[in-house]
Amino acid sequence: MSNNRTYSMVKPHAVADGHIGGILKMIEEAGFRIVALKKTRLNPEQAGKFYAVHEGRPFYEHLCQMMSEGPIVAMILEKDNAVADFRALIGSTDPAEAADGTIRKAFAKSKSENAVHGSDSDENAAIESSFFFSETERF
Ligand code: CMP
């Protein structure tokens, strides 16, 4: 995947609270093109695989439980400098530290229930995108 794309998902608490539309609006207004999008659901094993890099960390079990408690919205986003620009748009992991105008400032509830995920590198954006979308869906 080029450095024009990143992977994101709206987390279950934000879906349950009716924030899909508000989050997508902020994403599109920030200049991202939605390349692929689906509402789906992770089971605890899939959530564990997706977040395997965090295995062993104190928040890992809760993270896997939280990410599998309801539907998520998975998406691939396109824009120049997508990974870094999207991380700036979502804000800090901890909503108490998230800047005004960021998605997490608007919709996160805690460090764990932080509304959205955003890939942290081009390499992970490619891996995470193929976790949810087939080759033909990534157009
Ligand atoms: P995300 O961007 O999806 O990537 C890893 C996730 O782990 C993160 O958002 C949070 O949901 C969660 N996380 C990271 N750090 C902490 C923490 N210190 N306490 C609780 N959850 C965390």
Q: Note if 54 is an active site residue.
A: no
> What is the pLDDT, as a whole number, of residue 76?
98
* Per-residue pLDDT reduced to its tens digit, 72-103: 999 999 999 999 999 999 999 999 999 999 99
> What is the pLDDT, as a whole number, of residue 139?
79
Beta carbon of 87 within 6 Å of any ligand 1 atom: no
**Model pTM?**
0.95
> What is the pLDDT, as a whole number, of residue 2?
61
Distance in angstroms (rounded) separating the CA atoms of residues 63 and 29: 29
Distance in angstroms (rounded) separating the CA atoms of residues 39 and 9: 9
CA 30 to chain centre: 15
Q: Where are the domains of the chain?
A: 5-42+73-137
Residue 69: which of 49, 44, 51 has the closest Cα?
44
Residues 9, 103 contacting (CB under 8 angstroms): no
Beta carbon of 19 within 6 Å of any ligand 1 atom: no
**In which order are the strands placed within the sheet that holds 72-78?**
33-40, 72-78, 5-10, 116-118
> What is the Å distance from ligand 1's center to 66 Cα?
11
Beta carbon of 112 within 6 Å of any ligand 1 atom: yes
| Element spanning 125, H or E | helix 122-132
> What is the pLDDT, as a whole number, of residue 106?
98
The class level of CATH for 5-42+73-137 reads alpha beta
Q: Is the pLDDT of residue 44 over 90?
A: yes
Q: Is the pLDDT of residue 138 over 90?
A: no
Q: Is the pLDDT of residue 125 over 60?
A: yes
* Per-residue pLDDT reduced to its tens digit, 4-32: 999 999 999 999 999 999 999 999 999 99
